[in-house]
Structure 1
Amino acid sequence: MRIVDVNEFYSPSGGGVRTYIDRKMGIMAELGHELICIAPGREDRVEERPGGGMVHYVRSPGMPFDRNYGLFWDAAPVTALLDRYRPDLVECSSPWRPAWIVGQWDGDAVARATKVFFMHNDNVAAYAQRWLEGVASHERIERGFAWYSRYMGRFLDRYDAVVTNGPALEKRLRARGLRIDAAMPLGIERGHFSPTLRDEGLRAALLEQCDLPPEALLLLGLGRHHPEKRWPMVVEAVQRAGASVPVGLILIGTGMDSARIERRLRGGPHIRLFRPVYDRERLARIMASADALVHGSEAEPFGLVASEAMAAGLPLIVPDTGGCAEVAEPHSSELYAARDPGALAAAIVRFAGRDRAMVRRAAVLAAGRVRTDREHVEDLLGYYARLIDAKRAGVIAA
């Protein structure tokens, strides 16, 4: 099977999308399939991967607010590559120009290719709900942005199937009246993470940096500093909880919201901000050595960082909606009302009052059940094979 992914979110300096595509490309090659990613770039060039697959960069304008990424605009170079590579299946995930480029592609190879739109994010939750939350209710914002769902519906009609990356996104989009044909939950490279990496000496050292003794609760916040992650809310909640229980927080990450987070940290002696850790073994050891992962974003469509934390044997303190809530292990995790710092503070206090040994046993047991990226790819390829067979048999209209 040859899959071509027209992916506007892929960048050599990118984060989660790049990691997902690179890993998917490698797994597909191991299984005897091929993935070609067509991505915007600063120049036209091809980057072949030793194990199989490639990234074909198309010279494109940069994104105005983040030069790490590019934007497709001209359809001709993209559709020419689709004609050239003659895919069995085309994936697209950007709801803007690429959705229409792929949806309207009518070149030489289109008759044999199955078109799939893969939903990876929720722009209404990530942007509109956050920008307007102090102006209108959640329900009113949803109604006000019904036009966006209607817009999406127009290009989704041009695809043979619409897939989401998990049940959280499936539920949201179905509630808006959008067609969803399948949910294919993502997975992680589980081998990097393990509860056996827990280091009590490292835990004590991290708490010491937070000016706390080893008996205190050590929370970990992990991810880019973007407003949708709601780190200032997390900081506020930890500061509130600290009035009742000894709790420290280490925040690992960087991004456009770093300065705002640093301002919020003033006067919070038990919270420390660290730059990203790119050594995966070191990061896995830090994750296994904390007492819980705390997360603020209800807009997460799947929650990869939550799954990685669980694979490290870490309980979760996460919002009650979104991807993190969907993967949380119920016996070791705490959920709180999304977007509410008081509810998060109360959840931290509840967690601190639980039997830590019992919670850890439940978390360690859950670690081995975390879904892997190979399982995701195998399930996805099986679904795609059925779509391709159905289209070629005439069950799905060309």
Structure 2
Amino acid sequence: MRLLDITHFYSEKGGGIKTYIQNKIEYLKDKEDIQHTLIIPGEEDGELFLKRTKIIKIKSPYFPFNNHYRLLINPVKLSNILKQEKPDVVEIGSPFLIPTVVNSKKESLKYKTVGFFHSNLESVVENINKIKGKIIVKKIARSYTYKTYSNLDLVIAPSYYVKNYLLDIGVQNVEVIYHGI
């Protein structure tokens, strides 16, 4: 099986997603029947191997107001990598741009999609803008989250609290898998 992970939320400087991915790489190192590829943003384009995982870095700018994370914004390059790698399963670890690109190629490239709900967009937007309680912000964030995750074959939530949030906004096919960090 060919498993391909894509995320914005991988930082060389550390963090929970980096730990999650490193644990997955460690777990998969002895799984001969699984070919694992990881696409992450980087300072420059590049390719390397860590254990048995192929890591593809796509040159990406930093997130606005945050120099720990970079934003994958090259849909053409991402599409070309999906075609080249021919995955059976694509795991999406970010709600921005990546799901749109991955879902647009899903039928033609015949892969299944899994989304790991690492970050609650509604809370992030509220915290950044200090606009807690604004109904319009909640509606927009919930609508975006629904549109982003409802087209995936499976959505993974890190807790039952998050699973219930996703179910409440209409996202189906949600299962709980703890990060294990």
Q: TM-score with structure 2 length normalisation?
A: 0.86
Q: What's the counterpart of residue 124 of structure 1?
A: 122
Q: What's the counterpart of residue 74 of structure 1?
A: 74
Q: What's the counterpart of residue 163 of structure 2?
A: 170
Q: SS where residue 94 of structure 1 aligns?
A: coil
Instruction: Compute the displacement of 1:148 (Å).
Output: 1.9
Q: Which has the higher helix share?
A: 1
| Matched-pair contact (CA < 8 Å) for 1:121–1:169 | no
Q: Output the CA distance in 2 between the equivalents of 1:160 and 1:119.
A: 13
Aligned CA-pair RMSD: 2.2
Instruction: Tell me: CA distance 1:143–1:129, structure 2 relative to 1, closer, same or farther (3 Å).
Output: farther
Q: What's the counterpart of residue 98 of structure 1?
A: 98
Q: SS where residue 81 of structure 2 aligns?
A: helix
| Matched-pair contact (CA < 8 Å) for 1:153–1:179 | no
Deviations 1:71-128 (A, max 9, x none): 11221111111111111100112111112111112586x21x1111111121223441
Gaps in structure 1 of 5+ consecutive residues:
189-398
Q: Which has the larger radius of gyration?
A: 1
What stretches of structure 1 move > 4 A for 4+ residues in a row?
141-144
| Matched-pair contact (CA < 8 Å) for 1:36–1:53 | yes
| Matched-pair contact (CA < 8 Å) for 1:91–1:118 | yes
Instruction: Compute the displacement of 1:20 (Å).
Output: 1.1
| Matched-pair contact (CA < 8 Å) for 1:165–1:186 | yes
Q: Output the CA distance in 1 between the equivalents of 2:21 and 2:73.
A: 22
Q: Output the CA distance in 2 between the equivalents of 1:107 and 1:172.
A: 28
Instruction: Compute the displacement of 1:22 (Å).
Output: 1.2
| Matched-pair contact (CA < 8 Å) for 1:167–1:185 | no
| Matched-pair contact (CA < 8 Å) for 1:2–1:35 | yes
Q: What's the counterpart of residue 158 of structure 1?
A: 151
Q: SS where residue 105 of structure 2 aligns?
A: coil
Q: Which amino acid aligns with 2:174?
A: D
Q: Output the CA distance in 2 between the equivalents of 1:125 and 1:12.
A: 24
Deviations 1:192-224 (A, max 9, x none): xxxxxxxxxxxxxxxxxxxxxxxxxxxxxxxxx
| Matched-pair contact (CA < 8 Å) for 1:29–1:53 | yes
Matches within 5 A, 1:356-375: none
Q: Which amino acid aligns with 1:34?
A: Q
Q: SS where residue 187 of structure 1 aligns?
A: coil
Deviations 1:102-159 (A, max 9, x none): 1112586x21x111111112122344168234xx4xxxx4675122222222233432
Q: Which amino acid aligns with 2:95?
A: P
Gaps in structure 2 of 5+ consecutive residues:
none
Q: Output the CA distance in 2 between the equivalents of 1:179 and 1:143.
A: 23
Q: What's the counterpart of residue 44 of structure 1?
A: 45
Report the number of matched residues.
Answer: 179
Q: Output the CA distance in 2 between the equivalents of 1:22 and 1:79.
A: 24
| Matched-pair contact (CA < 8 Å) for 2:122–2:137 | no
Instruction: Compute the displacement of 1:69 (Å).
Output: 1.9
Q: Does 1:16 align with 2:9?
A: no
Q: Output the CA distance in 1 between the equivalents of 2:135 and 2:28.
A: 38
Q: Output the CA distance in 2 between the equivalents of 1:155 and 1:124.
A: 13
Q: Output the CA distance in 1 between the equivalents of 2:67 and 2:46.
A: 18
Q: SS where residue 48 of structure 2 aligns?
A: strand
Q: Does 1:115 align with 2:116?
A: no
Q: Which amino acid aligns with 2:11?
A: S
Q: Output the CA distance in 2 between the equivalents of 1:165 and 1:142.
A: 26
